[in-house]
A and B are shown apart, each in its own frame.
Chain A
Amino acid sequence: MLEREQVLHVARLARLELDESEVDRMAVELSKVLDHIEKIDELDDLDGVRPTSHVVELENALRKDEPRPSLPREVALAAAPDPADGGFRVPSPGAS
């Protein structure tokens, strides 16, 4: 069973604010899912098995580093909540 503290720690890592009831519910729900997931511990033939991160065997494909047109700045900024001076304005990291 996940402790409240663990849930709060993971929420901080994930940049999620959870209210009190969400913390409790998350602890219960995640614990239940993790209990099920931990059934893979029953597998005893995983030693030395290569992990699969991707099914496609990819080779690094390099291209010449040549300038190409990209989205115009105003188009790239069109959906931003707070564009300013040709950039994305954000609240100060120092404020609290």
Chain B
Amino acid sequence: MTAAELSELTAAGAIAGIRSGDLDPRELWSAYRGRAAADDLNAYTWVSEAVEPPATAAGAPLAGVPVAIKDLFCTEGVPSQSGSRILQGYTPPYTATAVGRLLEAGAPMVAKTNQDEFAMGSSNENSAYGPVLNPWDRTRVPGGSSGGSAAAVASGSVPWAIGTDTGGSIRQPAALCGVVGLKPTYGAISRYGMIAFASSLDQAGTFTRDVTDASLLLGAMAGRDACDSTSLGLPEPVRKPTATDLRGIRLGVPEELSGGGIEPGVMAAFERSLDVARELGATVEAMRLPHAPHALSAYYLIAPAECSSNLARFDGVRYGLRVDDGGGLLDMYTETRAAGFGAEVKRRIMLGTYALSSGYYDAYYGRAQRVRTKITEDFRDAFASFDFVVTPTSPGVAFELGAKTDDPLAMYLNDYCTVPMSLAGIPAISIPNGLVPAADGARGLPSGLQIAGPAFSENAILDAAHALERALAFDGSPARGAA
């Protein structure tokens, strides 16, 4: 198989090739391992050195097709650093449930991917292990926080990858890199072994070249887990999507997430996709999510509050970095955390600690929790009239490295369209929406179309995304540009 063929092979295609005997899983392992090792986007923090692939059961549904795993998933004996200096070289004594399920289903881990530190960021520039470059334009960011997973799949160095999404950390980098990113319903996949950022929002999900592959990865990972009391699994098995039209489907376009603040080129690509949806038989109507403009504010109180609590465990006692100048226990804590955390993580710990501190709790955290209720109700009302809510995934295309690093608020606005779904715990997918032409006539950059549905509507979302993906026929790869 040529390098070009390999980089465009879907996982479903690889599984079919293995089943028919045209592809040898050992050669596939070796080829992807070699590609991951040769990656020059800084997409990986670890690549397997095993010449032979880890054993997978004969007849396992994913047939031995290797997968890349975001750094923050604990993997026994393999560095799991969550992009942070405070966990440099840390190798956990156990493996996250999601990763274990993938191996059982026949998808062995070939590499781990770079990410923003503790999944806090929208550009992957907050990684202690350096930024990831966008394969479409190496002067630009891949998005974040799962930037390594997105860049890895987009550049074809792995067939698929997993990541996590707290406020958009799968969907936004998927959009900026031109791949499919699925954030399932909160609770669909166990969080056991995911190094926590904001526990009421963190959710594992998938990066794939197409929607069918997303259904395969989701199906392998979803399920209740005794080790995570908030894991629910999915009420029905994940089906391979087959829909080719959208007849009878009602799409709602929230005014609050599709107007001001969205780059004109991204909006034009979005409008074109809505036209395609209409051609496929969908009805498309403007609607309201009245509290959505306040979602970002609520999110940037709730997520930092939870992170300030979750990250208290990094104190130089049980694992990771310790800095001790002999000043006693309290000094050891503060010095370790000062040296181990990067600027954005410190900022969010401070913000969260402030929001939870005496005298401010009700005004900030309590109020944010009430806004969260109203946002959840907005969606519940919306889904009484619409099957799905559709928006541009990210307000803009990939921006240049360094463009927003000095302006936290500008960086946070990247999450404007993805945060409301996270607060409501509902599933959403981002699929490539076509290229947004560059002003200078260059090839252009990918943008994403977000499709969100009610809790546990994954099968319906995958079907709708499948129909749209087929009709939009985005055939872009960074090596070739869009066809």
Which of B334, B341, B369, B409 contacts A36 (CB under 8 A)? B409
Chain B residues positioned under 8 Å from A80 (CB to CB): 317-319
The answer to whether A33 and B376 have CB atoms under 8 Å apart is: no
Identity of the chain B residue whose Cβ is nearest the Cβ of A61 in the assembled complex: B229
A13 to chain B, nearest CB (A): 5
The answer to whether A76 and B93 have CB atoms under 8 Å apart is: yes
The answer to whether A16 and B320 have CB atoms under 8 Å apart is: no
Chosen A-B contacts, 6 in total, with CB atoms closer than 8 Å, are A36-B409, A52-B369, A52-B373, A53-B200, A58-B229, A90-B317
B235 to chain A, nearest CB (A): 13
Could you tell me the dominant secondary structure of chain B's interface residues?
helix
Identity of the chain B residue whose Cβ is nearest the Cβ of A27 in the assembled complex: B350
Identity of the chain B residue whose Cβ is nearest the Cβ of A51 in the assembled complex: B369
- A4 adjacent to chain B (CB < 8 Å): no
> Among B90, B297, B300, B425, which residue has the most Cβ atoms of chain A within 10 A?
B297
Interface size, chain B (Cβ < 8 Å): 69
Chain B interfacial positions (CB closer than 8 Å to A): 90-94, 186-187, 200, 229-230, 232, 291, 293-294, 296-298, 300-301, 308, 312, 315-322, 324, 326-335, 337-338, 341, 346-347, 349-351, 353-354, 357, 364, 366-374, 376, 408-409, 412, 423-425, 455
Query: A45 and B374 in contact (CB under 8 A), knowing A79-B91, A81-B316?
Result: yes
Which of B187, B328, B373 contacts A49 (CB under 8 A)? B373
Which of B330, B351, B357 contacts A33 (CB under 8 A)? B351
The answer to whether A32 and B333 have CB atoms under 8 Å apart is: no
The answer to whether B187 and A56 have CB atoms under 8 Å apart is: yes
In the docked arrangement, what's the CA distance between A55 and B302, Å? 13
In the docked arrangement, what's the CA distance between A41 and B371, Å? 10
The answer to whether A43 and B294 have CB atoms under 8 Å apart is: yes
The answer to whether B337 and A16 have CB atoms under 8 Å apart is: yes
14 extra A-B contacts, CB within 8 A, seeds A42-B294, A54-B200, A56-B425: A10-B354, A32-B409, A36-B296, A39-B294, A40-B298, A40-B368, A43-B371, A56-B187, A79-B320, A81-B316, A81-B319, A81-B320, A82-B322, A91-B326
Q: What is the size category of the interface that chain A forms with chain B?
A: 35 or more
B67 to chain A, nearest CB (A): 25
Chain B residues positioned under 8 Å from A9 (CB to CB): 357
Query: A71 and B93 in contact (CB under 8 A), knowing A15-B315, A30-B354, A79-B319?
Result: yes
The answer to whether B369 and A29 have CB atoms under 8 Å apart is: no
In the docked arrangement, what's the CA distance between A83 and B90, Å? 15
Chain A residues positioned under 8 Å from B409 (CB to CB): 32-33, 36
Identity of the chain B residue whose Cβ is nearest the Cβ of A16 in the assembled complex: B337
A3 to chain B, nearest CB (A): 12
Chain A residues positioned under 8 Å from B91 (CB to CB): 79
Which of B297, B324, B341, B425 contacts A91 (CB under 8 A)? B324
The answer to whether A10 and B347 have CB atoms under 8 Å apart is: no
The answer to whether B347 and A29 have CB atoms under 8 Å apart is: yes
The answer to whether B229 and A92 have CB atoms under 8 Å apart is: no
The answer to whether A37 and B315 have CB atoms under 8 Å apart is: no
- A94 adjacent to chain B (CB < 8 Å): yes
The answer to whether A92 and B329 have CB atoms under 8 Å apart is: yes
The answer to whether B351 and A52 have CB atoms under 8 Å apart is: no
In the docked arrangement, what's the CA distance between A32 and B187, Å? 34
